[in-house]
Amino acid sequence: MKDVEMKMLERAKQLLESGEVARVIGWKKGEFFYDPTPASFETVDELKDFVYDWFCGANLSKYLIQMSKKEGKTAVFLKPCDTYSFNQLVKEHRIKRENVYVIAVECLAKLNIEAIKEKTDGIVKSVDVEDKDVKVVTTNGEYTLYKPEVVLSKCAVCNKTHQAKDEEIILHERPERDVNRFEEVEKLEAMTEDERFAFWKGQLSKCIRCNACRNVCPACSCVKCVFDNPHSGIAAKANDSEFEEQLFHVIRAFHVAGRCTDCGECSRVCPQHIPLHLLNRKFIKDIDGLYGEFQAGETDEGKTPLTSYTEGDIEPKDVFNGEAK
């Protein structure tokens, strides 16, 4: 990973020094080794804090809504999954593509520090990755964890490849793997209605309505969200009843259906660890089943199943009656 970071840093320096770009969007060092923050770098001097490591899970594409409107070109480092969000935002005319220079960077999954802390004791001192082993040193000793168990939920079933790039920095190829991203959705589908309701009630009742899922979501790019708009009639800052949160989350899931690229940021940022990505993934699975396989963000143009009509489209009543194949 260090070699990739060096290469990225070198490229960022060149781009800034030559004046080809006005700024570079990447990650900068946090207070610890596991908490980098998205940042824009406008000078070579600022790059001293640049970092790219196992904890750079944040999706930088949404920042480009603002950045691409600034003076001069913006270079951005995008991981495979981030490029889908990027394409989707370009398609929705939210990002000015001509103002962005995309550097595709490799990603061999990103780690989840909270999962690592749960599986270890003491204060975490360092984390190193060797193939599938995550070696953790804490004040209590050394641990070897199995990497697939401590990656971000979005990385656990990822097989994505870069869908947008002006150049790439890939030093290690990620091996193809056999994963089924709908496995968790299938488990929920196999439940009885009551079990499923109990599952979501348990999860969504934890919601503190902080809006982190919405604000981080690249598909939630409305200038004014209905939930923030006092004239919408549904503006709300808190739940009135114990389970009103389903309204917020289900409306949000419907709103991003067909546009959600499954970037998984909603689940990464949720302070209560609600597996919000499963709502979106259910919609993705249903769209695949009803309209044929479709992946939002694969391209930055073209028609999409839910925004175009064909005579062969499934009738809503058939979906409702369970007659859809």
Partner 1 sequence: MFKIAKERLNELYSKIAENMPLFMPIKKAGQVNYGAYEAGVETSVETLKTVKSPKDLFFPQSENMMKFKTEGKNIEVIDIRSEKDAFVLFGVRACDYKAIDVLDKVFLADPVDTYYQSRREASVIVTLACSKVEESCFCKVFGIDATAPQGDVTTWMDEGYMYWQANTEKGENLTAIVKELLDNGGETEVKAQQEATKAVIDELPFSNLDLSKFKPENLNELFNAQEWEEMSEACLGCGTCTFVCPTCQCFDVRDFKTNEGIIRYRCWDSCMYSDFTLMAHGNSRTTQMQRFRQRFMHKLVYYPSQNGGLYSCVGCGRCVNKCPQHLNIVKVIKTLGGKDND
| Residue ranges in contact with partner 1 by CB under 8 A | 30-32, 35-40, 58, 63, 114, 123-124, 202-203, 205-206, 208-212, 214-216, 228, 230, 237-240, 268-269, 271-274
**Residue nearer to partner 1 on the CB measure, 216 or 324:** 216
**Residue nearer to partner 1 on the CB measure, 13 or 209:** 209
**Residue nearer to partner 1 on the CB measure, 37 or 161:** 37
Q: What distance in Å separates the CA atoms of residue 208 and residue 313, rounded to the nearest whole number? A: 38
Q: Compute φ and ψ for 39, nearest 5 degrees.
A: -155, 155
**Residue nearer to partner 1 on the CB measure, 47 or 287:** 47
Closest CB 246 distance from partner 1, rounded Å: 14
Closest CB 74 distance from partner 1, rounded Å: 13
Closest CB 15 distance from partner 1, rounded Å: 19
Q: Compute φ and ψ for 85, nearest 5 degrees.
A: -65, -40
Strands, E assignment, 147-301: 167-169
Beta-carbon count within 10 A of 174 CB: 15
- Check: CB of residue 104 under 8 Å from CB of residue 167: yes
Closest CB 180 distance from partner 1, rounded Å: 23
- Reported for 179-183, long-range contacts at CB under 8 A and 24+ positions apart, including other chains, are 181/157, 181/262, 181/281, 182/281, 182/285, 183/157
Closest CB 35 distance from partner 1, rounded Å: 4
**Residue nearer to partner 1 on the CB measure, 10 or 228:** 228
